[in-house]
């Protein structure tokens, strides 16, 4: 009898710990913060990507001017957002003598975004991405065709550098993927996360 009670007690104790851990996890959804204070209302992030490239099998595309505008807010304690504008200019391929980019556009904007924690790292996950790229070149296999890049993308947020970095590791961690040509494609880039509205020059962090 005493042994049974002890077992039950241990089970409840373990359960209590589990529940406490779960409660902590549930309330620890990452949020946008400025100077350590949770963002109230909305803010706009405007930036230019650093060294971003998109690799469709056999063809890598880079845009010298990869700008973006993201509206961020906290909703029920969790960081959310919307990518509202993504102007892409001066795009080239790694086969410049054969394949050129004749037109490119982010479509179906705004793209919803949310913050998520995986292990101990914070990520921004962007959903509903669609980018239409039309390549040109008579000797280019994709020449004359408009290729659609679609899917979701997860990038790790670094509070120290105020950047979000997207690469194959961050896609894997967030279980996100972008596809084109019926194939998973690679997108890498570093995206500064500076505010340009009410909290300009304030340190933006995610925690």
Partner 1 sequence: MAQRTGAERFLAPAARAAGAGLCLALAAAALLLAGCGGSSGDSGSAGAASSTAGTASAGSPDSPSSSQGASPTAEENKRAHPSGAPGGGGQKHAPLALPKDESGREHAPTAAEKANSPVADMTLFSPSLPAAEGIAALTPPYTCDGAGSWPALRWGGVPAGTKELALYVMSAKPVNGRLFFDWAVAGLGPHSEGLEAGRLPAGAVEGTNSFGKRGYSICPEPGGAETYLFALFALPRSLSPKPGFDPRALREEILATSGNAGLLSAAYARG
Q: Which of residues 61-80 bind partner 1 (CB under 8 A)?
A: 64-67, 69, 76-77
- Residue from the set 142, 176, 187, 199 that interacts with partner 1 by CB under 8 A: 142
* Residues in region 98-137 near partner 1 by CB under 8 A: 98, 101-106, 118-119, 121, 123, 132, 134
- Residue from the set 6, 9, 41, 58 that interacts with partner 1 by CB under 8 A: 58
89 forms part of the interface with partner 1 (CB under 8 A): yes
What distance in Å separates the CA atoms of residue 155 and residue 193, rounded to the nearest whole number? 12
Q: How far is the CB of 104 from partner 1 (least distance, A)?
A: 5
Q: How far is the CB of 72 from partner 1 (least distance, A)?
A: 15
- Residue from the set 70, 72, 86, 115 that interacts with partner 1 by CB under 8 A: 86
* Residues in region 161-200 near partner 1 by CB under 8 A: 161-165, 167, 169-170, 172-174, 177, 179-184, 190, 192, 194, 196-197, 200
5 forms part of the interface with partner 1 (CB under 8 A): no
Question: Measured between alpha carbons, how far is residue 127 from residues 61, 82, 83, 98, 116 in Å?
Answer: 21, 9, 9, 32, 13
**Which one, 82 or 98, has the nearer CB to partner 1?**
98
4 forms part of the interface with partner 1 (CB under 8 A): no
């Amino acid at each position: 009898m005493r042994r049974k009670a002890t077992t039950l007690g241990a089970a409840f104790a373990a359960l209590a710990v589990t529940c406490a851990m779960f409660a902590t996890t549930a309330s620890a959804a990452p949020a946008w913060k400025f100077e350590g204070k949770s963002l109230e209302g909305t803010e706009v992030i405007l930036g230019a990507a650093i060294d971003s490239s998109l690799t469709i099998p056999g063809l890598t595309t880079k845009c010298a001017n990869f700008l973006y505008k993201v509206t961020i807010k906290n909703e029920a304690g969790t960081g959310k957002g919307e990518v509202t504008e993504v102007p892409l200019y001066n795009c080239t391929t790694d086969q410049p003598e054969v394949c050129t980019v004749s037109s490119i556009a982010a479509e179906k904007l705004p793209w919803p975004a949310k913050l998520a924690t995986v292990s101990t790292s914070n990520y921004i996950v962007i959903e509903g991405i669609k980018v239409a790229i039309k390549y040109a070149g008579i000797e280019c296999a994709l020449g004359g065709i408009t290729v659609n890049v679609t899917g979701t993308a997860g990038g790790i947020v670094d509070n120290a550098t105020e950047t979000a970095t997207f690469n194959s590791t961050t896609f894997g961690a967030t279980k996100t993927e972008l596809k084109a040509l019926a194939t998973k494609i690679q997108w890498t880039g570093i995206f500064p996360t500076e505010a340009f509205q009410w909290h300009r020059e304030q340190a933006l962090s995610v925690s």
